[in-house]
Structure 1
Amino acid sequence: LKNRIVMAPMTRNFSPNGVPADYAPTYYSKRAAGGVGLIMTEGVEVSHPSSSGYPDCPKLDSDEAKRMWEKVVSEVHANGSAIFCQLWHVGGIRKLGMPPLPEIPGFTPSGYVKPGKKVAYEMTLEDIEELVQVYARDAKICEELGFDGVEIHGAHGYLIDQFFWNAINTRADAYGGSLENRARFATEILQASQQLTSSEFQVGIRVSQWKQQDYEAKITEDKDELNAFFNILKSAGADFLHCSNRRFWEGEFSEDGLNLAGIAKEATGLPSISVGSVGLDKDFIKLYAGDHQTQTADLGKLYNKLDNKEFDLIAVGRALLSDPEWANKVENGQEDQIIPFDKSFVENYV
């Protein structure tokens, strides 16, 4: 990579019928030309009718979609950046009536979307086996399209994270109970994806403690168990760990301690990616609660963590929506020229 800056995956809802918009190659390549070392695509729904939960999200399951992704990859590579595809299944977030098959319910490990709310479909062992292979086949497709790797989305309360979360995973079989069992769906996806792709192709996973259903939820509150969790993912073949914090500067177990990506790197030695409100003075929760504009935040805390080798790469999200040249401006000491973020940059595809 040309630097340690990653474009974070951000759902844009500009892909009607699962096909990336004509502007998508320009959208991604502008960030590559703007200095980003590694592009993570927005969440791409895996090729199963239960995977979708939001309108106009991209897919891989049509020739037209594949052609557009090939164009995206080609233009990003032409601007000197690598690009990984994020593979995504929303799980129980899906509501009945969503396309492509309105009768397909939301898939979950135990029927729960959040504690006490059993409203979704409980996956069978056959469902689990089928989806493991769906992820692996999509990883292979991504390699064939020219992507440099895939990121398995295992964070934020979506399907894989619903298996991790013991408050809603109440299964009594090999996919529930112990931490190792709750991670089994993810580890089987990692293993199957590695088996169908080359050794040069990168297969990693994104994880978080927090869930969209509960910002205070955690996979575990015990550091030793968290270390064990990360090593389970490493043993399954994860090439990197992308650890999502709402605020990257906050320690996981103490205010000034290692953040989630720091713990992952310390536990496993794998390349780790941190993320969370980089370059902004407020997190996305405050933004969408009505405080629609941010100011560019000082990057001193980020530099300190990188200098201390707490994590290897830093993912930048909203700051890159407002200013595709963010990385170049930071590198050239032009932080005072960065375009501040406001909510309009989410609503428009620029």
Structure 2
Amino acid sequence: MSNTPLSEELKLRSGSVLKNRICKSAMNEAMATGDGRVVRQFEVLYRTWAEGGSGLLVTGNVMVDKRHANEPLAVAVEDERDMHLLELWARGAKSKGGQIWAQLNHPGKQSPKFLNGHPVAPSAVPLASDMFFPPRELTEEEILDIIERFANTASILEKAGFDGVQLHGAHGYLISQFLSPNHNKREDKWGGSLENRMRFVTEVYKAIRAKLGQNFAVGIKLNSSDFQKGGFTQEESIEVCKCLDELGIDMIEISGGSWENPVNRKGNLKESTKKREAYFLEFAEQLKENVSAPIMVTGGFRSQAAMEEAVNSGAVDVVGIARPLAVDPDLANKVLNGQGFVSTVQPITTGIKKIDQMAIMEISWYTDNIRRMGDGKSPKTKVRGIWSVIAVLFNFWKRGQTVKRVRA
């Protein structure tokens, strides 16, 4: 192993130790059954990534309520019915000494029409898209139930052998909806001031800690901003992070944007971002001055040099890698062995405006690669023009039909 800062261990507040500073960050696997059941392919997939050398593997979205899913074929864990398969999943992910954290999520109103005819949200504010039905405002009793569901799902996963969980507080899902003044118009203790708007996420965190204690890792993925006028700001994000830091959060992953404003897909990057490759590094540096919890940034890293510079500069403690690991699952080993790794991953466009705007190819091509690895196959390394478009659209349609049959 080469002398790289990425090979250094990182001790977390929970007491556990990450064997290196490379994390496979969350990507939706879309491999569950139509009603959210775990399948054997998760063990195969995560064993493949474990053999690739990453110190931490964060799963795709795990729903805390199977009635509310963010996309087709997402895993839902409400009880112990899939305990054996969850244990195999965790065992495969940990087979080379790394850790596995499950990303816990409730999508709120960001649940598509063909999955959910009755979405819920902090307030009855519709999304600016006809893909989603207008939501119903949550009652306080329902809010408390969802908080308990987060803790219940974490407890089941801990029993199965998972090392921790990551709360999905970014990208416009329920936690993010509570934090945003654009989406949270409540006048009770769950809305209004930032203190009230952050109450939901802090209560979720406290509920998990109360059930599982300090030795189980709990992290969060949080927007630096939702990049919307009158929305969740960087200043507010820092205050939320400071609060969670004081409560004992194990790691904070920085992200940004939402379905309505997918900042990562717009392509209009500043020169400083292009040079450093990753999004949100400047915000991570600001955050570092305000919190002591480890910081992770995901999005944009393509070269070993940029990954090492991010850690050496002190901007981040852990480098998050997503899509490059859907093309080259052995990426971490190559980086740690000092091979001067540079990923071949490039933005995917089809020339078909509607498809490109919705990022169907950007999302689905990598999802299909993930499913290939779950089937024990090697991932594809190149997009094959129109044939890839056809294959992706067919698989996207097929996943939707699977869910419709189950819900019929």
TM-score (norm 1): 0.83
- 1:137-175 deviation digits (Å, cap 9, x = unpaired): 111111111111111111100011001111121111111
State the SS of the aligned residue for 1:44: strand
Partner in structure 2 of residue 269 of structure 1: 292
Equivalent AA in structure 2 for residue 269 of structure 1: S
Partner in structure 1 of residue 57 of structure 2: 39
CA contact (8 A) 2:280 2:297 kept: no
CA contact (8 A) 1:265 1:272 kept: yes
Matched, 1:347 2:368: yes
Partner in structure 1 of residue 233 of structure 2: 220
Shift of 1:299: 3.8
Equivalent AA in structure 1 for residue 78 of structure 2: D
Report matched runs for 1:230-269 at 5 Å.
Answer: 230-245=241-256, 246=264, 250=273, 259-269=282-292
Shift of 1:40: 0.3
Matched, 1:111 2:129: no
- Structure 1: unaligned runs, 5 residues or longer: 280-297
Q: CA RMSD in A?
A: 2.8
Shift of 1:272: 1.2
Matched, 1:311 2:316: yes
Partner in structure 2 of residue 322 of structure 1: 327
CA contact (8 A) 2:175 2:200 kept: yes
Matched, 1:121 2:136: yes
CA contact (8 A) 1:188 1:236 kept: no
CA contact (8 A) 1:241 1:264 kept: no
Q: Count how many residue pairs are aligned between Structure 1 and Structure 2.
A: 320
- 1:53-77 deviation digits (Å, cap 9, x = unpaired): 3211112235453322210111122
- 1:35-55 deviation digits (Å, cap 9, x = unpaired): 100000111000352x31321
Distance 1:81 1:256 in 2: 25
Shift of 1:227: 2.9
Distance 2:192 2:211 in 1: 29
Quick one: structure 1 residues 216 and 56, their matched pair in 2 at CA, closer, same or farther if it must change by over 3 Å?
Answer: farther
Partner in structure 2 of residue 204 of structure 1: 219
Shift of 1:307: 0.3
Shift of 1:221: 4.4
CA contact (8 A) 1:4 1:313 kept: yes
Quick one: structure 1 residues 340 and 231, their matched pair in 2 at CA, closer, same or farther if it must change by over 3 Å?
Answer: closer
Partner in structure 1 of residue 354 of structure 2: none
Shift of 1:215: 7.0
Distance 1:202 1:113 in 2: 34
State the SS of the aligned residue for 1:278: coil
Shift of 1:263: 3.0
- Structure 2: unaligned runs, 5 residues or longer: 1-17, 257-263, 349-361, 374-408
CA contact (8 A) 2:288 2:315 kept: yes
CA contact (8 A) 1:209 1:217 kept: no
Match of 2:153 among 138, 149, 152: 138
Distance 2:284 2:63 in 1: 25
Report matched runs for 1:54-203 at 5 Å.
Answer: 54-61=71-78, 63-96=80-113, 98=115, 105-114=118-127, 119-203=134-218
- 1:100-153 deviation digits (Å, cap 9, x = unpaired): xx55x1111111244799921101111111111111111111111111111111
TM-score (norm 2): 0.72
State the SS of the aligned residue for 2:170: strand
Match of 1:22 among 24, 40, 46: 40
Determine what percentage of the aligned residue pairs are the same residue.
Answer: 29
Equivalent AA in structure 2 for residue 227 of structure 1: I
Distance 1:332 1:271 in 2: 24
State the SS of the aligned residue for 1:241: strand
Distance 2:173 2:106 in 1: 7
Quick one: structure 1 residues 135 and 320, their matched pair in 2 at CA, closer, same or farther if it must change by over 3 Å?
Answer: same
Match of 2:301 among 258, 268, 278: 278
